[in-house]
A and B are shown apart, each in its own frame.
Chain A
């Protein structure tokens, strides 16, 4: 579904992506991990067209993205921070998404009740708590039934109940055969949700594969420990 070839991006002197090549298929939850500044968010934003890469190609559903916006019909995105205008009501936000996406989409009305959106319909975004805002963002990403869903730190700052609601949703979407890409720092969350892991370091993909392959490569049965081994190896490589 998504193919990336030798993607490079510089912000001034800072090289955020130093040549990333990837291929992501459907029916999976893929977690992109890595320390701060490793290029995770830049990679996601390149796929979304928010950041324009210096070189390299991205194909989404075999369509080369080049400033052209139609491919985003199938892409849902939930940013890290709440993103809706403060003075809009929740129901207006939902109406807006339908307005912009158009009528040819099938809207997942059941989602609104499962994420408990309907009960805050008349509240303005500005009056919502952080968790509530995240739930609205999450609903906005899933609402129109896109085949690719990208979530940037979906459970950061969520209360346990909301967090659980979001996780369930992700799992459910995977079952429908969609590609879900998340970034996360929370290892337990990745462990329970993700099928594959992409570990990024310093603008490059350091590890890419299923959880299982990571366990076999590192000889650890626990994601936390496996990651620690990966980081350790990297350090020793640098020294060597």
Chain B
């Protein structure tokens, strides 16, 4: 109950912040621009894919970290009230994630909807929302692990850069080195290690399924070809949201303010 009461005020605060308004407007303009110049919604989804996979995690993790440090005194004040620590944590986490998700849905979802988005647009929105929750979770983790704000933001940036860029480069290198080995199962395991890849796969399963079905191995073929692939991606994305959050909550519960 207390969590919901605090959540309400966190939402009031975050939804009014300049940053989230700029974020929403910017996403809206980008999406609108892409649809307008491409004249084709399914083509727009492809162009938006990289926006969703790079920009959403970046903004979420940076905004999440900054917000956490800026709310430190507020959390102290709340902690001095008869409120459980985990209530404060959940209220902050949910408030920020919901606010940014709303911004994302309004910025990207609305134009897609107006121009008659298909199922792949829906997957894009779901992926974006999940990535928002995941990267705010990671932002909170980076924040509770570092007392110093600059270090926290630094760690957040490193996490983003690793997941958005470095990881895939390493995987490509890995494939290059081990191309003579059977890599099907490894591929599924690897994909689960990075939420950005999971989100991308989720959309690929709708967008490029005909190309993915060109793969010859049975394991990956079943993975791509059945509902299992979508379930797998969604499931692990949720784990990626829950895992760092629980970890951050554990640290938060013992943290000295």
Which A residues are closer than 8 A to B by beta carbons? Answer: 11, 45, 48-52, 69-73, 75-77, 79, 81-88, 92, 96-97, 99-101, 124, 137, 140, 150
Q: A45-B257, A51-B257 are in contact. Are A85 and B79 (CB under 8 A)?
A: no
A83 touches B77 (CB 8 A): yes
Enumerate chain A residues within 8 angstroms of B10, measured Cβ to Cβ.
Answer: 85
User: How close is A48's CB to chain B, nearest CB, in angstroms?
Assistant: 5
Q: A81-B73, A99-B5 are in contact. Are A87 and B17 (CB under 8 A)?
A: yes
Enumerate chain A residues within 8 angstroms of B214, measured Cβ to Cβ.
Answer: none
B79 touches A50 (CB 8 A): yes
Q: A11-B256, A50-B76, A77-B77 are in contact. Are A100 and B5 (CB under 8 A)?
A: yes
B17 touches A86 (CB 8 A): yes
Enumerate chain B residues within 8 angstroms of A99, measured Cβ to Cβ.
Answer: 5, 8-9
Asked whether any CB of chain A lies closer than 8 Å to the CB of B84, the reply is yes
Which size class do B's interface residues fall under? Answer: 20 to 34
A72 touches B257 (CB 8 A): no
Enumerate chain B residues within 8 angstroms of A79, measured Cβ to Cβ.
Answer: 73, 76-77, 80
A/B interface sample: 22 pairs, CB < 8 A: A45-B256, A50-B80, A50-B256, A50-B257, A69-B82, A69-B83, A70-B82, A72-B81, A72-B83, A76-B80, A77-B77, A79-B76, A81-B73, A83-B73, A86-B17, A87-B16, A88-B9, A100-B2, A100-B81, A100-B82, A101-B81, A101-B82
B9 touches A96 (CB 8 A): yes
Q: A81-B73, A83-B74 are in contact. Are A49 and B13 (CB under 8 A)?
A: no
Residue picked from B9, B83, B84, most chain A C-beta under 10 Å: B9
Contacts A49-B79, A86-B13, A96-B5 supplied; 14 other A-B pairs, CB < 8 Å: A45-B257, A48-B80, A50-B80, A72-B81, A77-B77, A79-B77, A83-B73, A84-B77, A87-B14, A87-B17, A88-B12, A88-B13, A96-B9, A140-B77
Q: Is the interface of A mostly helix, strand, loop or mixed?
A: mixed
Q: Which of A51, A69, A72 contacts B256 (CB 8 A)?
A: A51
Enumerate chain B residues within 8 angstroms of A87, measured Cβ to Cβ.
Answer: 12-14, 16-17
Q: For chain B residues 53-87, which have a beta carbon within 8 Å of chain A? A: 70-71, 73-74, 76-84
User: How close is A219's CB to chain B, nearest CB, in angstroms?
Assistant: 39
Residue of A nearest to B15 (CB): A87
